[in-house]
Amino acid sequence: MAQYFALVQAYTALGIGIIIGLGAIGACIGIGIMGSKFLEAAGRQPELIPQLQKFMFLLAGLIDAAFLIGVGIAMFFGFANPLLSAVK
């Protein structure tokens, strides 16, 4: 029975690493692409910088929020793993 607990915990740890790692990579790539497009647009039309900047910060918050939701789900499985109750 103890080996099943250890197996569930090991797979959970692997899943947590994948969730957080892929979420961080996706958020970094998304913010990087968005930042580069903002700089391109600001270089083409400098008079639109305040409006573009407002939308850039809004989107950066949404991208980070999606990543943090993934971190929250991963921490839920890390600290209150509902899969362990299936092993009992």
Catalytic residues: 64
Separation of alpha carbons 27 and 61, rounded Å:
10
